Amino acid sequence: MNSAPYKIGDLVELKNGFFNTPRRGEFKVHRVMPIRDNGECQYRVIGSDGRERAVEHHEIQRTVDTGFFSPLNRRA
């Protein structure tokens, strides 16, 4: 994987089975982290509670925009 499939501002959700599932719902990609030695992309995401979390590519999936994050909050 040479480049990150998600970019800043993309909306994602945690996949089922993610061990650290404090809440369900939309998360906005806040930062794309360096690719790991094993080739997996990493991201920092922010949920509606304002908390930032670190996730790896296999732990998230793209979500349909439900409008939870207002257009005013969609800055990079």
pLDDT in tens, 32-74: 999 989 889 999 999 888 889 999 998 898 886 656 555 445 4
DSSP 68: -
pLDDT at 32: 95
* Domains of the chain by residue range: 11-69
What phi and psi, each to the nearest 5 degrees, are found at residue 68? Answer: -65, -45
CA terminus-to-terminus distance, the chain: 23
pLDDT at res. 19: 61
Angle at 56 between CA 55 and CA 61, to 5 degrees: 90
How many Cα atoms sit within 13 Å of 30 on the Cβ side?
15
pLDDT digits (tens, 9 = 90+) for 16-37: 765 655 567 789 999 999 998 9
64: which residues sit within 8 A by CB, 6+ positions away? 11
What pLDDT score does 28 carry? Answer: 94
- What confidence score (pLDDT) does residue 17 get? 65
